[in-house]
Copies of this chain bind each other. A is one copy, B any other.
Amino acid sequence: MQKSALNVRKIRKDFPILKREVMGGKQLVYLDNAATTQKPLSVINAINNYYMNYNSNIHRAVHQLAEEATAAYEETRKKIVGFINAGSTDEIIFTRNTTEAINLVAYSWGRANIKRGDKIVITEIEHHSNIVPWQILTQEKAAKLEYVGVGDDGYLKIDEFAKYLDSKKVKLVSLSQMSNVLGTIVPVNEMIKMAHEKGIPVLIDGAQSVPHMPVDVQKLDCEFLAFSAHKMLGPTGVGVLYVKRDLLEKMPPFMGGGDMIKEVHKYETRYNDLPYKFEGGTPNIADVIGFGAAIDYLQNIGMDRVREHEIDITKYALDKISAVKGVTIYGPANATDRGGVISFNIGDIHPHDLATIMNDHGIAIRSGHHCAQVLMERLDVSATSRASFYIYNTKEEVDALISALAEARRLFRI
């Protein structure tokens, strides 16, 4: 069956903010989706409805509001199981964001399993959230961090990865599935297989991949997957950590407190069943429920079609931007090998200056190091400009970006 392209016009109607005017009357063109996406009305309404009608703390009370809130909260967990094809709800832990999810692994699994002299392998394209927790852990344990390099073409050096894996000292591989700067889609399938051949567990940073393409944890067979709701139509304040159950069962708790315990005595505590053992304190109930509506929205569209739309618009944008005089584009040339993220520079215009000029035209792009300073050093730039797309972006918006780039060149006299 032939799937039809996204009805972007119709989708845009679901996102109230897209009607917004900025800078005194300019139509908003939102191209900062890799940082955070906008939210459809169904998500905003789910949060609203919770507070208007059944706000309550969960899990521990028998009154009706608590039962309704608990059911809705747990319903999102079930939706996530379906969305990423996890084995069971026991494997889904709610965190604040991707960053907390990775830190949870570093604190809980990491401190129990990483010893002096061990190695953790990451890559040069990682976001700070997939670097700093491992720096802290390896410093504490006198272990070592290794970086797989990235080629000038934007692809990881898989041979370098293979070489690192030869060391018996490697105890963890932690990889972004999609670069938030280069857009590069990393061949994690293959890399996970390579790591597993050596018995090494793999964490996938899915902050950029899970929102933009189908991701199936059982097919991938990764041990850990982390991602953020706010980058996939959901509210701020919710992240997910998936962990394979056999690993999770052996992990010590992270945050101690209410809800993660079964019995507390003065000097000893029995921890709760999975996944609650890892969710200490009152959770972000409203936003987890809101996230459920975001998953429904994406499921309704279908992640294959999300991906197709992004390939289409990215191809168009790559063509147009690369035709601008003085432009350097970073990352793979082929749109099918990358997500909807395009980083670039023009002449000696600094990205912040470019973003300010874009903003004059109502265009929201991001500029800076994108929390990827190791990659910036590798590219030998201090910053890039970045346009990133989602289901509601149109080719007309790309055209608006292109005209504004001409205006920037005029202002900077290049």
Contact = CB atoms under 8 A, between A and B. Distances in A.
Contacts of A230: 57, 282
A169 interface: no
A384 interface: no
Contact of A53 (B20, B32, B131, B374): B20
Task: Give the number of copies in the complex.
Answer: 2
A39 B55 contact: yes
A358 B63 CA distance: 8
Interface string A39-71: 100011001100111111100111111100000
Most buried by B among A63, A256, A366, A368: A63
Contacts of A106: 256
Given A258-B99, A258-B127, A364-B61, A56 B35 contact: yes
A23 interface: yes
Interface stretch (A159-167, A217-225, A265-273, A296-304): A265-273
Interface string A100-133: 1011001100000000000000000001110111
Contacts of A28: 65
Given A32-B56, A364-B64, A284 B44 contact: no
Contacts of A66: 32, 364
A391 interface: no
A341 to B, nearest CB: 14
The A interface, classified by DSSP as helix, strand, loop or mixed, is: mixed
B32 A280 contact: no
A65 B30 contact: yes
Given A63-B32, A261-B128, A268 B17 contact: no
Given A264-B128, A285-B236, A373-B263, A62 B367 contact: yes
Given A44-B48, A48-B44, A355-B61, A374 B265 contact: yes
Interface string A7-28: 0000000001100101100001
Contact of A264 (B228, B285, B374): B374
Most buried by B among A102, A103, A264: A264
A36 interface: yes
A98 interface: yes
A352 interface: yes
B60 A366 contact: yes
A145 interface: yes
Nearest to A363: B63
12 contacts: A36-B55, A39-B51, A61-B355, A61-B367, A96-B96, A96-B283, A131-B264, A132-B280, A236-B284, A237-B286, A258-B371, A284-B284
Given A128-B257, A132-B256, 17 more contacts: A17-B51, A17-B55, A20-B54, A47-B47, A56-B364, A60-B368, A61-B367, A64-B359, A64-B364, A97-B281, A99-B257, A127-B258, A145-B266, A228-B281, A236-B284, A263-B373, A264-B373
